[in-house]
Amino acid sequence: MAQRMIVTVEEDGPVLRKKCRPVDEVTPRIQMILDDMVETMREAKGVGLAAPQVGIMRRMFVAEPEEGEVYYFVNPEITVREGEETGEEGCLSVPDMAGEVIRPARIVIRGLDRDGKEQEYSFEGFHARVMCHEYDHLDGILYTDRATRVFRTDIEKE
């Protein structure tokens, strides 16, 4: 496995605004990229990472909403969105910022796993928020586009 560079809005923002193409087949190369993404996400202390955040314009992301609970999604599709919850979000591609975002309280998401097998999960609360955040990246949407309020988290102390 290898750690990858995370694309940020300051450095290469236009990449983050593009819609990703589907993955044709889960190959050993795709599995290696997914594994690299998990390592990169963990090293950066994130809870999710989408392929465009490492410069790969394919519809896939990884998420670890709780330590040791890793999800791999290839060609995901959110099929159910229910309710609303407002919560704070940050993003590895938008450093030193956070925002309040309204997300579904519950979702159902399906797609392929790391081995190319069909999977479907129902998530609520924080888990649903993480999956929606990463899913948005695949369509070129950043949390700042949906935020009701955005604020800096790196205010320097005098």
pLDDT at 1: 74
Q: How far is CA 32 from CA 28, 91, 134, in A?
A: 6, 23, 19
Determine, yes or no, domain membership for 158.
no
- Give this prediction's pTM: 0.95
CATH number at residue 50: 3.90.45.10
Task: With CA atoms as reference, report the closest residue to 75 among 143, 130, 20.
Answer: 20
Determine, yes or no, domain membership for 1.
no
pLDDT, block means (10 residues), the chain with 158 residues: 91 89 98 98 98 98 98 98 98 97 98 98 98 98 97 72
Catalytic residues: 134
What residue numbers bound the domain in which 99 lies? Answer: 9-152
- How many domains does the chain divide into? 1
Determine, yes or no, domain membership for 62.
yes
pLDDT at 156: 54
Determine, yes or no, domain membership for 93.
yes
